[in-house]
Amino acid sequence: MKNMAKLGSLWLLLLISGGAAFRDAQLPICNEDAFQPNYIPKLDALLRWRKFPVRVYFVRDAHHTPERQQLAIEGFQQWTRLTDNKVRFEVVDDEQEAQIWVRFDPSSKAGRTDCTYYPERREIIRAEMIIGVKEDVPLDIQSVSVHEFGHALGIVGHSDDSKDAMYPRYTVGKLASLSQRDLNAVKTAYCELFDEERAIAALERTRGLPSSRDEPRKVQIVCGKPRSSR
């Protein structure tokens, strides 16, 4: 009862068990103070995928090139390395298998990510990512990719510190690198992967909620123009 009383004032992140058992499951949760420092209070929401790896498809349109795809992958891999391979993705060739769709935009140096998710569960079911590739500067493409993949992992909103990769504007010509605060935001969303003891059992939190009450919703995250390095 003591733990349950505390939960009312915390921003709770739901960990979903699979399939039909969802409504009757005891769902682990993690509060926003579990991993410090972080910028979670500055975000609009913190979502999550049900499991890893997430499947990524690069749309083969007129703007796709193998070189751009490889730069994007190298950006995504920052998250994989920093989380010791707990946050993983795989590239698929069949768009029907994809969970994340990636397109390149030669008219912009910024990016955008749209996430479709279930609000009650805070579970992402689809993400669509646009990576700006104007001028084809490798470091800039990687910076946009690092940032947008953070959104695709569930970070809805931005950091308030320019040292973080999830700050809304990257610096031209300088590779964006993930910070401890970036890592802690993702660790909070997927806390059971990093510290099971921090995931508290929320008994029957969603029992009795019909699935029709948790309709998918879409959020669009637009990122700012890059900053000059001067």
In this prediction, residue 196 carries a pLDDT of: 67
| 84 CB-contact burial (10 Å; exposed 0-12 / middle 13-18 / buried 19+) | exposed
Q: If you compute the radius of gyration of the chain from its CA atoms, what whole number of angstroms results?
A: 18
Within a 10 A sphere around the Cβ of 160, how many other Cβ atoms?
13
- CATH H superfamily, domain 2-222: Collagenase (Catalytic Domain) (3.40.390.10)
Return d(Cα 207, Cα 55) in angstroms, integer.
Answer: 30
* Beta pairing partners, 227: 171
In this prediction, residue 211 carries a pLDDT of: 52
DSSP-derived secondary structure letter, 40: G
C-beta of residue 153 within 8 angstroms of C-beta of residue 78: no
Q: Which residues, 6+ apart, have CB-to-CB distance to 130 below 8 Å?
A: 102, 103, 104, 105, 108, 111, 112, 113, 148
In this prediction, residue 12 carries a pLDDT of: 37
In this prediction, residue 22 carries a pLDDT of: 33
| 215 CB-contact burial (10 Å; exposed 0-12 / middle 13-18 / buried 19+) | exposed
The DSSP bridge pattern shows strands 100-105 and 54-58 to be parallel
In this prediction, residue 154 carries a pLDDT of: 97
Average confidence (pLDDT) per 10 residues, the chain, 230 residues: 36 34 43 91 94 97 98 98 97 97 97 95 94 97 98 98 97 96 95 74 38 83 88
Contacts 24+ apart (CB under 8 A), 2-8: 3/200, 4/202, 4/203, 7/31, 7/200, 7/202
In this prediction, residue 212 carries a pLDDT of: 58
Return d(Cα 102, Cα 113) in angstroms, integer.
Answer: 9
Where in the chain are the domains? 2-222
In this prediction, residue 221 carries a pLDDT of: 97
Q: Which residues, 6+ apart, have CB-to-CB distance to 54 below 8 Å?
A: 88, 89, 90, 99, 100, 152
Q: What is the pTM of this model?
A: 0.83
